[in-house]
Amino acid sequence: MKIAILPGDGIGPEIVEQAVNVLQALGEKFELETAPVGGAGYAAHGHPLPEGTLKLAKEADAVLFGAVGDYQYDSLERALRPEQAILGLRKNLGLFANLRPAILYPELAGASTLKPEVVSGLDILIIRELTGDIYFGQPRGVRIAPDGAFKGEREGFDTMRYAESEIRRIAHVAFQAAQKRDKRLTSVDKANVLETFQFWKDIVTEVHKDYPDVALEHMYVDNAAMQLVRAPKKFDVIVTGNMFGDILSDAAAMLTGSIGMLPSASLDANNKGLYEPSHGSAPDIAGKGIANPLATILSAAMMLRFSLDKAEQAERIENAVKKVLAQGLRTADIYEAGTTKVGTKEMGAAVVKALG
């Protein structure tokens, strides 16, 4: 089994190093190959997603991704910016299904900015469509407005669109995920305003006929944002489009107190996937050895479960993470009085030790 390791920028290399250590401690025969991506790809080969990196990602059975982005690349033209690497990988590998679980570990209930009773025991799964919507819709750009009240003025524009098959396939992923959980699915849309999302709602309702055992509700995105902070435990699985999913998943992440704990999986139609922490490259703390490696380590566990058919090894990792939390070990982002503050390397080493 070949795993492409793409550490990227900022804290990416530090946290990925710890996840690799954990993978190597499992006693499996993985072939690991590393390649530069994001700002690191631009620095090495003049492009955020160098040809060799894309080739490696395509031929591997799974991709472990760190994070991309750094201040020094902010002034590059859009096509060369680090973010294009992750967008390009999603599109080129057909990774249309993004799974972002938000789980609150009981030991971390105090780390949330919400009252503990609102979030303790939280276990929700956000499924975000990842290769369509306004993120990729054409045409887009800046032009001279051809008509309307602002005719002749410069305007920026993007196109929101979803094809029927795109909605159907993500709906199937979501209903099937709900079947394996509490059998409740919330489809988030903006059908009261947007044609694209009235269509989304209609298609999800049709796909529901194949899954009569799952309870489906529809919710407008503004209400969903409110319900997520009001009573997040009422949700089981949420499915939504690319743009709304981007926003809601950050909100959901913060319910758990630290975005440093949350893994994610981006899957294609055959469960090949890219696995990355839900957080970004955090250039402000890069190289300081204080970043939380647990989201990346938990992403490696998701990789074992979804792409490499090694559910037992995934559980070993997840149990090891629970064990180090129970031991009171905390990186700075989840530190509270009475616990033990550790750095990135110590946290990774503790997980390796806890694998048993």
With CB under 5 to 8 Å by kind, the binding choice for 83 among Mg ion, ligand IPM, none is ligand IPM
> H/E element holding 239?
strand 237-240
Q: Which of 42, 133, 190, 275 is catalytic?
A: 190
Q: In what order do the strands lie in the sheet with 123-129?
A: 31-34, 2-8, 62-67, 273-277, 263-267, 97-103, 123-129, 237-240, 184-189, 215-220
Cα–Cα distance for residue pair 136/139, rounded to 1 Å: 9
Taking the complex as a whole, how short is the minimal distance between the CB of residue 26 and ligand IPM, in angstroms?
A: 27
Q: Which is nearer to Mg ion, 182 or 246 (CB)?
A: 246
Cα–Cα distance for residue pair 194/102, rounded to 1 Å: 28
> H/E element holding 127?
strand 123-129
Distances (CA, A) of 238 to 42, 117, 184: 35, 21, 9
Taking the complex as a whole, how short is the minimal distance between the CB of residue 352 and ligand IPM, in angstroms?
A: 27
Q: Is 258 helix (H, G, I), strand (E, B) or coil?
A: coil
Can 123 be counted among the known catalytic residues? Answer: no
**Binding piece for ligand IPM, criterion CB under 6 A, among 79-87, 287-295, 299-307, 314-322:** 79-87
Can 284 be counted among the known catalytic residues? Answer: no
Binding test (CB under 6 A) with ligand IPM, winner from 25, 43, 44, 87? 87
Q: Determine if 76 is a binding residue for ligand IPM (CB under 6 A).
A: no
Distances (CA, A) of 98 to 27, 30, 58, 67, 159: 29, 24, 18, 16, 21
With CB under 5 to 8 Å by kind, the binding choice for 118 among Mg ion, ligand IPM, none is none
Q: Determine if 86 is a binding residue for ligand IPM (CB under 6 A).
A: yes
> Which DSSP string do the residues of 73-106 spell out, in sequence order?
GTTS-GGGSTHHHHHHHHHHTT--EEEEEEE--G
Can 250 be counted among the known catalytic residues? Answer: yes
In the region spanning residues 180 to 239, those forming contacts with ligand IPM, defined by CB under 6 A, are: none
- Phi then psi for residue 156, to 5 deg, are -100, 145
Taking the complex as a whole, how short is the minimal distance between the CB of residue 246 and ligand IPM, in angstroms?
A: 5
With CB under 5 to 8 Å by kind, the binding choice for 123 among ligand IPM, Mg ion, none is none
Q: Which is nearer to ligand IPM, 61 or 246 (CB)?
A: 246
Taking the complex as a whole, how short is the minimal distance between the CB of residue 86 and ligand IPM, in angstroms?
A: 6
Q: Determine if 83 is a binding residue for ligand IPM (CB under 6 A).
A: yes
Taking the complex as a whole, how short is the minimal distance between the CB of residue 82 and ligand IPM, in angstroms?
A: 8
Question: What's the angle, vertex CA 95, arms to CA 42 and CA 162, rounded to 5?
Answer: 110
**Binding piece for ligand IPM, criterion CB under 6 A, among 19-27, 83-91, 212-220, 324-332:** 83-91
Q: Which of 42, 73, 105, 135 is catalytic?
A: 135
Cα–Cα distance for residue pair 20/204, rounded to 1 Å: 38
Can 70 be counted among the known catalytic residues? Answer: no
Taking the complex as a whole, how short is the minimal distance between the CB of residue 250 and Mg ion, in angstroms?
A: 6
Cis peptide before 232 (omega within 30 of 0): no
Q: List alpha helices for the chain, DSSP H.
A: 12-24, 39-45, 51-59, 83-92, 116-119, 164-179, 195-208, 221-230, 242-255, 294-306, 311-326, 344-354
Contact (CB, 8 A) for 291 and 14: yes
Can 190 be counted among the known catalytic residues? Answer: yes
Q: Which residues bind to Mg ion, rule: CB under 5 A?
A: 246
In the region spanning residues 246 to 265, those forming contacts with ligand IPM, defined by CB under 6 A, are: 246
With CB under 5 to 8 Å by kind, the binding choice for 63 among Mg ion, ligand IPM, none is none
DSSP 8-state symbol, 291:
S
Q: Cβ of 160: how many Cβ atoms within 10 Å?
A: 17
Q: Which of 246, 268, 323, 341 is catalytic?
A: 246
Q: Which is nearer to Mg ion, 107 or 246 (CB)?
A: 246
Q: Determine if 107 is a binding residue for ligand IPM (CB under 6 A).
A: no
Q: Which is nearer to Mg ion, 123 or 246 (CB)?
A: 246
Q: Catalytic residues, which ones?
A: 135, 190, 222, 246, 250
Residues that bind ligand IPM (CB under 6 A): 83, 86-87, 246
